[in-house]
Amino acid sequence: ETGVTQSPTHLIKTRGQQVTLRCSSQSGHNTVSWYQQALGQGPQFIFQYYREEENGRGNFPPRFSGLQFPNYSSELNVNALELDDSALYLCASSLAMERPPGTGELFFGEGSRLTVL
């Protein structure tokens, strides 16, 4: 049990719709990262938030957006869903003592599995 919770655990959407995934970070953690894991692939970094500011972004289009709240929980929003967005979305929190963060262990949630039809 990492203390990182994600919701929903599973959801099904259709192409063109929008989705919001939520993540509650472990108590005391100030950094949240989001990852996409498609079938047969390693996790792909989407973006990271450190103290409510975006701190880095992977190669994902602008329709992937996020927020980090004052309590350090986070949301991942995906607009105009495409079939290829079907994947497991993982959230990980960590405690960073520096900017940019890099060496803190990541504590992962169990993920939200998105299916786009």
Partner 1 sequence: ILNVEQSPQSLHVQEGDSTNFTCSFPSSNFYALHWYRWETAKSPEALFVMTLNGDEKKKGRISATLNTKEGYSYLYIKGSQPEDSATYLCAFINGNNRKLIWGLGTSLAVNP
Site residues for partner 1 per CB under 8 A: 2, 4, 33, 35, 40-45, 48, 56, 58, 90, 92, 100-111
SS3 25: coil
**What single DSSP character describes residue 75?**
E
Question: From CA 109, how far away is CA 2, in angstroms rounded?
Answer: 7
Closest contact distance (angstroms) between CB of 8 and partner 1 is 15
Q: Which is nearer to partner 1, 81 or 106 (CB)?
A: 106
Closest contact distance (angstroms) between CB of 6 and partner 1 is 9
Question: From CA 96, how far away is CA 21, in angstroms rounded?
Answer: 23
Closest contact distance (angstroms) between CB of 16 and partner 1 is 29
Q: Which is nearer to partner 1, 18 or 115 (CB)?
A: 115
Q: Which is nearer to partner 1, 20 or 104 (CB)?
A: 104
- CA dihedral of residues 57, 51, 73, 78 (deg, nearest 10): -20
Closest contact distance (angstroms) between CB of 84 and partner 1 is 18
